[in-house]
Structure 1
Amino acid sequence: MKRTATLILLLALLCGCTAAPSQSGDTSLQRYEATFLTLFDTVTTIVGYAETEDAFTGTAQAIHDELLEYHQLYDIYNEYDGINNIKTINDHAWEHPVEVDQRIIDLLLFSKDLYAKNQGKVNIAMGSVLSLWHDAREDGIADPEQAALPDSNALEQAAAHMNIDSIQIDQEKGTVFLSDPQVKLDVGAIAKGYAVAQVCRSAPSGLLISVGGNVCPTGPKPENGQPWVVGIQDPDNAEQYLHTIYVKDLSVVTSGDYQRYYTVDGVPYHHIIDPDTRYPANYWRSVTILCPDSGVADALSTALFTLRQEEGQALLDAFQAEAMWVCRDGTVLYSPGFQAYIRV
């Protein structure tokens, strides 16, 4: 998550849109789409149906404003007036307990619980390692001829300070303390999906909310009760889908090596770092998760990206989720129930 940009709201009827009847026979609903460029350093799109453009605008703006609150709370790069956020924790919680919003406490507890269930493959305490890769990637993108990997000794030293138990939470006082001064939090593998899940719980039914690679419906299409159609990108071609799938009550989250990467000596290095090796995982091109909870799906997409299929399937079974893996050679693999959602 990076510096908040100027809000851009693009609101229009989708191409070819006409009035569509609702389940009750109401022919007054029309389909609208709003796009924001202010949240979680990615594109947010809200699709829904309303009787008027003003009605939809109000709904979309309310969802944006709630997501913006989560964006600011979970930001690790920027400060905001009157807010103690994740950056505040990294900057000061090793000195003294920092009082934070309950939504931060809830995210940290959620993340610690998932850590215990995902073989430690999603660790919000590995910020010191991830920051070395982030800085190397930013430098490499800015100056490709000087692109370099993070220093191996620095990575090893940083890896000695990623114990998730160093995050000490006092729920009664609403504070967070880092018992290891060199531990840094990075919630990027969970925060976006978690925030989407929280917002969707209170959002009106019949919307499709997409924040980057996190897509969450709040129920079927209201005009006819049909499922939404969501595309899964081909890692080799941003203009093509490998599949389109039907969803009504399942979140769709994809992690891929094509989203954020840089190149060193002709070799691409993406942003999904295996906590065991401290280097980018190299099993898959992408992993797509279907799961009711967008926060769980976000974490699973990262965890499965760093695991072989058999290990990943065990995690899916534990969370009653489905997955599609795209192998390095382009082969596509599926969990047992995934193909039932593919649009034929």
Structure 2
Amino acid sequence: MKKGRWIIILLTFIIALTGCTKKETSGIALERYSATYLSLFDTVTSIVGYAESEEEFNTITKQIHDEMLTYHRLYDIYNTYDGIVNLKNVNDNAGIAPVEVDQRIIDLILFSKEIYKESNHKVNIALGSVLALWHEAREDGLYDPLNAYLPDMDELIAGSKHCDLDKVIVDDDNNTVFFEDPNIRLDVGAIAKGYATQKAIENIDISLLISVGGNVASTKSKPDGSPWVVGLQDTQKSEGNYKQKVILDKGAVVTSGDYQRYYEVDGVQYHHIIDPDTLMPAQYWKAVSVIVTDSGVADGLSTALFLMNQEDGQRLLDKYNGVALWTDKDGNEYQSNGFDSVIKN
């Protein structure tokens, strides 16, 4: 998840925790249920949905959980798992030989290459050599704040010379991945969570809303035809104060910003969304929220728009028929074309 003085809060989740609500659809009474998991993508996953029975709901949410857990393990760059060839294995074999992988890794890389091209290389899963330096500095700084430091710029520049995603060669026929540059490292944190969410829910028949660490997606509107309501909270104020409430039928809401993953060096905060041009945390915006049909696209676009000016962001957004809300460092808001159509009045 990412930041801006905004955080995605699911109003429906808050309501769902208080009990079940019946809906009548074609003569069938549906009840609302909720589930929470802590094992997916190192964050909290919450699901609210309508089903004929708790058993039906639990069966579906277990299916989603199990599929998401597989994606989590496949896309993990820090840990290995018995019987699974994942992205850590791919990184560890960089430049040695093609690695045969699960089709879901092939599909993610090909999807990421599209976003890489369309975003003018702003969203780049091959930026791992740079992001690893920032990750290490952030972890060290959080563990020992008095001795927090910034990554060495010479090391960042050296790492940036090994971030060409075009040198990640995918053989779709043989299900292999090979790095032409042995120093390339993949880091799919900017896109994997939303992509996996989309894949896990796209064939779900019931009406549900899922939040994976704040990345929100819905399968369709509620049984009575009304949309879900998602609150974008102003985090400068107490919980429950919303700057905007947006409606969502089938689609996704993802926010990128500087408030969730950061550390301080000499009193200055440094967040985790790194500009590939400066190799430093991006400074265009405080937060960007994107609404689009596909959760994976929403995840990628929210990062891309956070890394570029509004004019370029609008052009990219138009290619995917999405809408967005930008918030600058002073708290000023800027709406994309069509954003007013998703605001709940």
Normalising by the smaller structure, the TM-score range is over 0.9
Residue equivalent to 1:233: 233
Residue equivalent to 1:23: 25
Q: Is the 8 A contact 1:33 1:45 kept in 2?
A: yes
CA distance in structure 1 between the aligned counterparts of 2:103 and 2:337, rounded to whole angstroms: 38
CA distance in structure 2 between the aligned counterparts of 1:117 and 1:295, rounded to whole angstroms: 14
Q: Is the 8 A contact 2:50 2:206 kept in 1?
A: no
CA distance in structure 1 between the aligned counterparts of 2:265 and 2:184, rounded to whole angstroms: 28
1:159-209 deviations in Å (ceiling 9; x for gaps): 111011110111111100111111100011111111111112122231111
CA distance in structure 2 between the aligned counterparts of 1:19 and 1:308, rounded to whole angstroms: 44
Any idea what SS the aligned residue of 1:208 has? strand
Gaps of 5+ in 1: 2-10
Per-residue deviation at 1:243?
Answer: 1.2
- 2:310 corresponds to which letter in structure 1? Q
Q: Is the 8 A contact 2:17 2:34 kept in 1?
A: no
Q: Is the 8 A contact 2:51 2:206 kept in 1?
A: no
The aligned runs of 1:248-259 (5 Å cut-off) are: 248-259=249-260
Residue equivalent to 1:8: none
Any idea what SS the aligned residue of 1:233 has? strand
CA separation of 1:41 and 1:156: change in aligned 2, threshold 3 A: same
- 1:231 corresponds to which letter in structure 2? G
Counting matched residue pairs gives: 333
Residue equivalent to 1:84: 85
- 1:22 corresponds to which letter in structure 2? E
The aligned runs of 1:249-328 (5 Å cut-off) are: 249-328=250-329
- 2:190 corresponds to which letter in structure 1? A
Residue equivalent to 2:40: 39
CA separation of 1:256 and 1:235: change in aligned 2, threshold 3 A: farther
CA separation of 1:297 and 1:18: change in aligned 2, threshold 3 A: closer
Query: 1:14 aligned to 2:13?
Result: no
Q: Is the 8 A contact 1:214 1:253 kept in 2?
A: yes
Per-residue deviation at 1:12?
Answer: 11
Any idea what SS the aligned residue of 2:151 has? coil
- 1:183 corresponds to which letter in structure 2? I
- 1:88 corresponds to which letter in structure 2? N
Any idea what SS the aligned residue of 1:29 has? strand
CA separation of 1:150 and 1:238: change in aligned 2, threshold 3 A: farther
CA separation of 1:141 and 1:45: change in aligned 2, threshold 3 A: same
- 2:198 corresponds to which letter in structure 1? A
1:300-342 deviations in Å (ceiling 9; x for gaps): 1001001111111111112111100111001111002112111
Residue equivalent to 1:183: 184
Q: Is the 8 A contact 1:235 1:286 kept in 2?
A: no
The aligned runs of 1:147-162 (5 Å cut-off) are: 147-162=148-163
Identity %: 55
Residue equivalent to 1:131: 132
Per-residue deviation at 1:54?
Answer: 2.4
Residue equivalent to 2:9: none
Residue equivalent to 2:4: none
CA separation of 1:111 and 1:264: change in aligned 2, threshold 3 A: same
Any idea what SS the aligned residue of 2:24 has? coil
CA separation of 1:87 and 1:15: change in aligned 2, threshold 3 A: closer
Per-residue deviation at 1:110?
Answer: 0.7
- 2:141 corresponds to which letter in structure 1? G
Per-residue deviation at 1:18?
Answer: 4.7
CA separation of 1:127 and 1:133: change in aligned 2, threshold 3 A: same
Superposed CA RMSD:
1.7
Q: Is the 8 A contact 1:285 1:328 kept in 2?
A: yes
CA distance in structure 1 between the aligned counterparts of 2:76 and 2:20, rounded to whole angstroms: 40
